Amino acid sequence: MQSSNEICERTMAATPVSRPTSTPPTTTSTTRPSTSSKPGYVVIGGGIAGVTCVEHLSLLSPDIPITLVTASPLVKAVTNFRQISKVIEHFSVEEKHASNLQSSVRGLSIVHAMVSGIDAAKQVITIDDGESIPYSKLCICSGGQPDIICKDNPNVLGIRDTETVKSFQKKLAAANRVAVIGNGGIATELVYEIQGSTVIWAIRDKSISHTFVDAGAAEFFLPHLKSEKESVAGPSKRMIYAVSDADNIDSTKGSSSGGALGPDWSNGVSMQGGGSGHHPVYVEYECEVQRILTAEEYAQLGQAANILACDTMSQSWPVYILLTNGKLYGCDLIVSATGVNPNVAPFTKGPMPLTIAPDGGISVDDHMRTNLEHVYAAGDVCSASWQPAEQWFQMRLWSQARQMGAYAAKCMIADTSGQVIHQDFCFELFAHMTTFFGFKVVLLGKFNGQGLDKKDYEALVRVTLGVEYIKVILKDGKMYGAILIGDTDLEETFENLILNKTDLTRYGEDLLNPGVDIEDYFD
């Protein structure tokens, strides 16, 4: 019998998937699993969680057939995977045709369809053509859908997958002004990358990028938001996000969406507006969208739109946005980057519906199991409903989608064979690595004091303008979280300090003293 550690080591070793050298076909090859054969593992969703789950199921149990049900002909695959530390991961995401995954994963069948429901009593799922697919174990990795502020206006769109990025590029090419709504990762990347268009960035917080960083880090980023974007991103050394022949693939089936965008999705993606050079970004703080108006509705409103200093004259716009601070702007395009909703619709019907958590995701326990026997869930569609470790919490990020997909595969196999395994170590500490404004960003633990009473912790900050921003959260002399921006090389050191609960009381503010080599001191 294999131990949990042995399974984990094999899982990590097999994560990278090489880019196929052959040209993928332009149509999906659908292989239906035989209903007469013994049911195998079924995974729903071709995003990061689903594909990672499929790859690890094949690695750990190569003799059991696997079926991937995906509504899109394109799937996401993790490549260039590197374990930076115990919990920090560094990887790229490559989008490829589903048939390439089928050729690289042993025993895999691909079904290009939308799932309409689950019959847990019979252990089958039904798809849009009415056919049933049996399973011995099922993992739902259907991801999320963009939470778009206005779905019936063609000048308002969300960005979630390759298809929506392509639509955005086409509309942006003719746009002189773009409104970006939201304050998360995609919004932050958009306002930095867009060139040739004036940007109105509407956020409900007091500082930019509030989903990920504090107000101090936001001030560190602001000069880079307003300055000319460099042609080569600064300290970031991450591999870029790539698309394999995406332009040759038909649109996704029906109203379905492809898997969520992965890290560095904006690298190599042209975001050129209707003008040239760097245009201003105007940030509207502490406001939300009150109303979206068409040109006709604006004409009937009888209220003049705000005229920015960059405007040469008053003009009509195809869409207008009224904010709760009373400001009204005309735009060519509005991007709704206001998060996602778990895609649970097909799984809440029938006599045995799945339990849905308060945040809208499928509730799962500490082994990714749902309330239905033999049914698991991973990635954006699920909600971690177990008692988490002190320094871990759920955010719907590509890093957690990969971890959950891999862990769900281990749990499915362990339950099949009757093994007892411990929860993966990645759930001991929240860790996320990304890039904002050309800077490497590492978030560890309760990096913004999440769940801590402000009276109970203190924050130490070290800033070198244009170079680095370091913030640590200390409670009772122990480090609970950290934000590292720039090439600090402190992520592994701080990770160990958090995990080991090292008493740092005697160091006080000298912990971030520039004259102290922290990395060597605690090595």
Percent of the chain whose pLDDT exceeds 70: 81
For residues 380-417, one letter each, b for 16 or more C-beta atoms within 10 angstroms of the residue's C-beta and e for the rest, the string is bbbbbbeeeeebbebebbbbbbbbbbbbbbbbbbbbee
Residue 365 and residue 249: Cα distance in Å, rounded?
A: 37
Which domains, ranges and CATH numbers included, belong to the chain?
4-143+343-424 (3.50.50.60), 146-239+268-336 (3.50.50.60), 446-521 (3.30.390)
Residue 326 and residue 201: Cα distance in Å, rounded?
A: 15
pLDDT band at 238 (very low <50, low <70, confident <90, very high): very low
Beta partners for 470? Answer: 462, 484
Return the SS3 of 199: strand
Run of H or E including 167:
helix 162-172
Q: Long-range contacts made by residues 464-468, C-beta under 8 angstroms, separation at least 24?
A: 464/514, 465/220, 465/223, 466/223
* Cα separation of the two ends of the chain: 36
pLDDT value for 266 = 52
Q: What is the pLDDT of residues 169-212, one digit of tens each?
A: 889 998 999 999 999 888 998 898 898 899 999 999 999 999 89
Q: Mean pLDDT over all residues of the chain?
A: 83
Q: What is the pLDDT of residues 76-94, one digit of tens each?
A: 888 888 888 999 988 888 8
Query: Which residues neighbour 320 within 8 Å (Cβ) at sequence distance 6 or greater?
Result: 292, 293, 294, 295, 297, 298, 305, 328, 329, 330, 331
pLDDT value for 236 = 35
pLDDT value for 25 = 39
- Under a CB-based contact definition with an 8 Å cutoff, are residues 80 and 239 in contact? yes
The DSSP output letter for 200 is: E
Q: Is 244 exposed, middle or buried (0-12, 13-18, 19+ CB in 10 A)?
A: middle
pLDDT value for 31 = 52
- Under a CB-based contact definition with an 8 Å cutoff, are residues 89 and 66 in contact? no
Q: What is the pLDDT of residues 432-452, one digit of tens each?
A: 999 899 899 999 999 999 988
